[in-house]
Amino acid sequence: MHPKYIASRFLIALIAVSLIALLAWMSLRGQSNTSLPPSTPTTVPVIDFVTNIPQKAAWKNNVMVSAEATPGTTCQLIYISPSGENRQTDTIANINGLCEWKWQIKESEGKGHGRLIFTIGETTETHFLEILPSF
């Protein structure tokens, strides 16, 4: 996982713990904040998803990648080939929480590292896929 996302998750957890500690301290001191309207407690979802990507793919072969997400979540994949060609495909996570994409690697896309940019809900992750002429 990218350090930026780890730091974001840590910051969210730190804020949540601080808020809980403050509320506990206020209740122990017998204080309440009546200026805030009553509300139902909510949690801030920390979106994290698991991707399934092969390490390499070969020309004229199909490649299949997937990402796990909450069922019904919008999922987008942008594939940028080593030659710079790109394709964008959107899908919705199925009832099992899986977003899947499958396509054929063309020789014209070149060899080298292709980039896979997943956007699941509001979270984006970039991964790489090695493209070879053959295995």
Asked if residue 121 and residue 63 are part of one domain, the reply reads yes
**pLDDT at residue 46 in the model:** 45
- Give the Cα separation of 59 and 63 in Å (integer): 10
C-alpha 123, offset from chain centre: 5
Task: Name the residue range of residue 100's domain.
Answer: 51-132
Asked if residue 24 and residue 8 are part of one domain, the reply reads yes
Asked if residue 124 and residue 81 are part of one domain, the reply reads yes
Tell whether the model's pLDDT for residue 11 goes beyond 90.
Answer: no
**pLDDT at residue 121 in the model:** 86
**pLDDT at residue 34 in the model:** 47
Q: What is the mean pLDDT of residues 24-41?
A: 50
Total number of domains in the chain = 2
Asked if residue 115 and residue 55 are part of one domain, the reply reads yes
Asked if residue 120 and residue 65 are part of one domain, the reply reads yes
pTM value is 0.62
